[in-house]
Amino acid sequence: MLTKLLFVCLSMCLGLYGMTACVTKPVQAVGNSRQITPILMILSTAITITPSPEPTQTATPIPIAQVLPPDPLPVIFTAEDGTDLHGYYYPAAINPAPLVVMMHWAGDDMSAWYEVAVWLQNREMKNPFINPGDPQQFRWWDPTWFPKVPADKTYGVFIFTFRGCNSFNTGCVKFDSTGWLKDAQAATLAARGLEGVDANKIVTIGSSIGADGAADGCLHLNNQHPGACQGVLSLSPDSYLTLEYEKVITELGKADPPITAWCLAAPFQFDPCKRAEKTGNTAYASYEIPNGQHGTSMLRPGLTPLPMQLILDFLDETLE
């Protein structure tokens, strides 16, 4: 039987016509049985297997957001009741950037902020519009005395005009508390959607009716998009837009973390600021401005503390 098996192996090797060689090992006895070591066939020509190259993983480049030109961009947005409103957006020198929404008083329209907007934008741009008032008398139109904005700070700024309001010579033709509340709320929502804006780094600043509008708009924005509005600074608020100022400050204080709120007023109008101190908002601060006047009139040199510097301090603290 063994002889026959060897003959078969030899025949298989001869059949490969020398292209292979056969190696056999002798039969080994294991106990009472025999074990045959399997035949190992070695090819005379080696086969080289080249592994497939690993697929190259190419990182998808992250697009760099383009910085928008500094020129103010006209914006049209609509209040809840369908009223169209007009404003200007001043893009910052970075993208995305924190945004300041500014709301004017009843004696003016958005032109009250023409110089302040380019000041906070901090892109060495001159105000492209004509200021309607004498800058030597109405100092918020004279940027020569404004505190210097740090070189590494730049803010997008959004200004707009409340319904029924005109420039300095006319102002707002009638007192429209309900309509202005809708305008303030719509403005903050529109501001969040502007190109180049960091949607969660928005603050509001306002004067007189705009002081309340700034607080009301900030609260409304956070009710729609929690955490979007980081803070509000009010110059001479007094519950002008149907909502009580101190109640709005209370609601802002219930956020986690509490929303920063600063109140600035002259001594004869400081009561609303004092009442808001009792709301329990741990992020609230009030500043009485000796020799200050109403609203935007506090934006003039020679005051201590200086409201224009407090605006910079507020932005620096709130938009870290």
- The CATH number linked to 252 is 3.40.50.1820
What pLDDT sits at residue 16?
35
Same domain as 127, residue 247: yes
Same domain as 162, residue 23: no
What pLDDT sits at residue 53?
55
Domain of 13, in residue numbers:
2-43
CA distance 64 to 313: 30
CA distance 276 to 263: 9
- Of the given ranges (47-51, 68-72, 143-147, 173-177), which has the lowest mean pLDDT? 47-51
CA distance 147 to 136: 17
Which helix (H) or strand (E) segment holds residue 248: the answer is: helix 245-253
**Across all residues in the chain, what is the average pLDDT?**
86
Same domain as 133, residue 35: no
Asked if residue 65 belongs to a domain, the reply is no
Q: What is the pTM of this model?
A: 0.81
Same domain as 287, residue 207: yes
Average pLDDT of 70-79? 98
Nearest Cα to Cα of residue 160 among 179, 140, 187: 187
Q: Looking at the 3D structure of the chain, how many domains does it have? A: 2
